[in-house]
């Protein structure tokens, strides 16, 4: 096995694990995947607007990721009471770069969600900065571009 | 149907203390609302700061109808129908930009940004066409209050100032919080769709009864101080300005705290540049008062919700479908303040927001609940026994009372009864 295929294999296993934590609402396990300086970003208008000046659906630093999870764990987060049933497929995993510290990875994800609202198919292109800390992979950055943004959940007036 | 029968219909559906569920679900009533409310009264469209330069434009809406808000070559704000007079195509589908003309992609008809038809492809095919009558449709009345652009599809009617009435105070209050007296809308919008009637959303905006329950999850884990504003002991008041405009006036609570910027969950020490600019812009005692009172929480009927640091534009799509377009307010000349407003707004609103995800869950459950026929009515009497008039003659109540809902329905009934 070459170094690259071994890296791809490790990274793929990591992304599948993240997906399982998300699908099963294993919030603590999912939270532990983030680095202390993590950024979780879901842009709203286009794939690469300036998140420091423009609105995003999510632009969380580490403490806001934690707050998001604490809110879910109160049991009173109505939009997740009862929790959605989720199953996602992670595919097209591609190594984009490796600067020695962080590895850049792209992957596409299709999420099927069932809850009181009905059934929703979400599609997203994700880009990760992954970092190896004490032998385990961690997410330092995740940018999730939802291609459902303009057609399903929200729409421009024209 | 003569007028007396018509008014009976609305009297049957809207009583002082309850309204019939069909008002939120019936698609014939929705169509009638478009004619009698959305295409008649003053509707908020956008803000002049979204199109600062000549030839700038943004796509906007009046009710479900797409329009373009443009600044023409001479700098004048114009509202144009986004519909080619030839075959009905949208002449522009890109959300914003800068362009002198709009060309319909179907047959290449081209319009100036004041709406005039400039030309069409293969003109020899038209012999008698009068170009002056084939321009983009325009909005009969456009009026701007402190940068807020409103439109009315009615040729005649009350002026914008008459329509806003006492609610104009809230826009004044908002602008005073900007060191240069101006709000800017520059952060882009989230477009948040709900499967719910627009009136559930309008009523919820000044419903002070729900936060303690709908938002209990975030109040439990974030020390925002918002929860106490809507508790049973709150001194904040709900207010009905008439014309459907309602607010939750939180100033009494903030005045008890007597701390500048406490309304914003911060202190003067943390925003020194902003505070210095405010002190330079206003007399010192005035600056202090403005920074204690903070910004308003007001629902300007039918579609502009100013929620302290956010601006929502409510767009009805169908009886059971509404889009909320939401962005962070920004103050001209206050970058430190603006950054914090964007961060707080992104945390709060949109489909992932700490607050709005749960509000939306409630709107949609309300809507689905209408399918249950017993009872058929929604009950609106909370606080009827303790309503009173304030010093300006407006009805006010406790922060958790349904003064706003009753005010909205009184105005709604009046509009729907008019021919």
Q: Kindly determine whether residue A76 and residue B361, on different chains, have CB atoms separated by under 8 Å.
A: no
**Chain A interface includes B216 (CB < 8 A):** yes
pLDDT at B284: 83
CATH 3.90.380.10 given to domain B166-417:
yes
User: Chain B closest CA to A149's CA: distance in Å?
Assistant: 9
CA gap B246, B297 in Å, rounded = 9
Tell me which chain A residue has its CA closest to the CA of residue B64. Answer: A157
Does residue A158 form part of some domain? Answer: no
pLDDT tens sequence for chain B (419 residues): 555 555 589 999 999 999 999 999 999 999 999 999 999 999 999 999 999 999 999 999 999 999 999 999 999 999 999 999 999 999 999 999 999 999 999 999 999 999 999 999 999 999 999 999 999 999 999 999 999 999 999 999 999 999 999 999 999 999 999 999 999 999 999 999 999 999 999 999 999 999 999 999 999 999 777 778 888 899 999 999 999 999 999 999 999 999 999 999 999 999 999 999 999 999 889 999 999 999 999 999 999 999 999 999 999 999 999 999 999 999 999 999 999 999 999 999 989 999 999 999 999 999 999 999 899 999 999 999 999 999 999 999 999 999 999 999 999 999 999 98
β-bridge mates for residue B143, sequence order: B150
Is omega for the bond preceding B375 within 30 degrees of 0, making it cis?
yes
> ipTM, 2 decimals?
0.93
Adjacency order of strands within the sheet including B245-249: B190-194, B321-328, B310-318, B304-307, B297-300, B245-249, B237-242, B395-398, B388-389
Q: Which residue has the higher pLDDT, B226 or A145?
A: A145
Alpha-carbon distances, residue B164 vs B188, B299, B327, B412 (angstroms): 26, 11, 22, 15
CA gap B300, B363 in Å, rounded = 19
Q: Kindly determine whether residue B350 and residue A70, on different chains, have CB atoms separated by under 8 Å.
A: no
Total domain count, chain A: 1
**CATH code: domain of residue A58:** 3.10.450.50
Q: Kindly determine whether residue B346 and residue A116, on different chains, have CB atoms separated by under 8 Å.
A: no
Does residue A97 form part of some domain? Answer: yes
Which chain B positions have a beta carbon within 8 Å of A70's beta carbon? 221
Alpha-carbon distances, residue A157 vs B185, B278, B411 (angstroms): 18, 37, 27
Q: Break chain B into its structural domains and give their ranges.
A: 43-152, 166-417
Tell me which chain A residue has its CA closest to the CA of residue B361. Answer: A79
Tokens standing for B42? 């003053």
Does residue A23 form part of some domain? Answer: yes
Q: Kindly determine whether residue A153 and residue B217, on different chains, have CB atoms separated by under 8 Å.
A: no
pLDDT at B224: 72
CATH number given to B43-152 = 2.102.10.10
- Helix (H) / strand (E) containing A87: strand A85-98
- Count how many pairs of residues, chain A against chain B, have C-beta atoms within 8 Å: 108
* pLDDT classification of A47: cutoffs 50, 70, 90: confident
Q: Are strands B65-71 and B56-62 parallel, antiparallel or unpaired?
A: antiparallel
Q: Are B414 and B36 in contact (CB under 8 A)?
A: no
Which chain B positions have a beta carbon within 8 Å of A155's beta carbon? 191, 193, 323
Does residue A157 form part of some domain? Answer: no
User: Chain A closest CA to B63's CA: distance in Å?
Assistant: 9
Q: Kindly determine whether residue A44 and residue B188, on different chains, have CB atoms separated by under 8 Å.
A: yes
Domain housing A60: 3-148
Query: From the CA atom positions of chain A, what is the Rg in Å?
Result: 16
Q: Kindly determine whether residue A57 and residue B350, on different chains, have CB atoms separated by under 8 Å.
A: yes
């Amino acid at each position: 096995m070459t170094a690259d295929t071994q890296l791809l294999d490790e990274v793929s296993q990591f992304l599948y694990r993240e997906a399982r934590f998300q699908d099963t609402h294993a919030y603590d396990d999912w939270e532990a995947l983030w680095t202390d300086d993590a950024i979780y970003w879901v842009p709203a208008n286009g794939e690469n607007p300036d998140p420091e000046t423009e609105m995003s659906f999510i632009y969380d630093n580490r403490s806001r990721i934690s707050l998001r999870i604490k809110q879910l764990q109160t049991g009173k987060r109505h939009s997740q009471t009862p929790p959605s049933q989720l199953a996602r497929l992670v595919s097209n995993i591609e190594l984009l770069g490796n600067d020695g510290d962080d590895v850049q990875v792209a992957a596409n994800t299709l999420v099927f969600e069932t809850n009181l609202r009905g059934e929703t198919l979400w599609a997203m292109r994700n880009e990760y900065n992954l970092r190896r800390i004490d032998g385990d992979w961690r997410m330092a950055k995740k940018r999730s571009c939802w291609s459902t943004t303009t057609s399903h959940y929200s729409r421009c007036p024209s | 149907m003569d007028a007396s029968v018509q008014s009976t219909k609305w009297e049957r559906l809207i009583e002082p203390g309850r309204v019939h569920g069909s008002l939120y679900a019936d698609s014939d009533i929705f169509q009638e609302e478009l004619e009698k409310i959305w295409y008649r009264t003053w509707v908020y469209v956008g803000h002049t700061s979204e199109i600062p330069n000549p030839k700038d434009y943004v796509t906007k809406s009046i009710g479900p109808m797409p329009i373009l808000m443009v600044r023409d070559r001479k700098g004048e704000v114009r509202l144009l129908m986004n519909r080619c007079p030839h075959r009905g195509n949208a002449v522009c589908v890109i959300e914003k930009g800068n362009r002198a003309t709009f060309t319909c992609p179907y047959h290449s008809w081209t319009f100036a940004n004041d709406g005039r038809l400039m030309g069409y492809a293969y003109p020899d095919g038209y012999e008698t066409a009068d170009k002056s009558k084939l321009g983009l449709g325009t909005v009969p009345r456009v009026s701007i209050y402190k940068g807020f652009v409103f439109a009315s599809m009615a040729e005649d009617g009350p002026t914008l100032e008459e329509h806003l009435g006492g609610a104009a105070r809230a826009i004044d209050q908002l602008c005073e919080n900007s060191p240069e007296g101006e709000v800017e809308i520059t952060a882009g919008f989230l477009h948040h769709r709900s499967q719910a009637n627009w009136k559930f959303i309008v009523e919820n905006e000044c419903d002070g009864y729900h936060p303690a329950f709908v938002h209990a999850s975030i109040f439990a884990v974030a020390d925002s101080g918002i929860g106490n504003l809507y508790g049973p002991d709150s001194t904040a008041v709900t207010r009905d300005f008439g014309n459907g405009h309602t607010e939750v006036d939180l100033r009494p609570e903030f005045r008890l705290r007597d701390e500048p910027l406490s309304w914003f969950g911060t202190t003067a020490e943390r925003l020194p540049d902003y505070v210095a600019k405010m002190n330079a812009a206003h007399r010192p005692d005035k600056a202090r008062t403005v920074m204690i009172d903070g910004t308003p929480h007001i629902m300007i009927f039918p579609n502009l919700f100013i929620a302290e640091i956010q601006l929502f534009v409510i767009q009805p799509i169908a009886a059971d479908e509404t889009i909320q377009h939401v962005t962070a307010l920004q103050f001209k000349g206050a970058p430190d303040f603006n950054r914090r407003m964007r961060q707080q707004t992104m945390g709060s609103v949109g489909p992932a927001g700490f607050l709005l995800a749960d509000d939306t869950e409630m709107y949609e459950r309300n809507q689905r609940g209408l399918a249950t026929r017993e009872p058929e009515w929604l009950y609106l009497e909370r606080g009827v026994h303790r309503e009173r008039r304030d010093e300006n003659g407006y009805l006010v109540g406790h922060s958790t009372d349904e003064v706003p809902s009753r005010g909205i329905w009184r105005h709604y009934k009046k509009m729907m009864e008019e021919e």
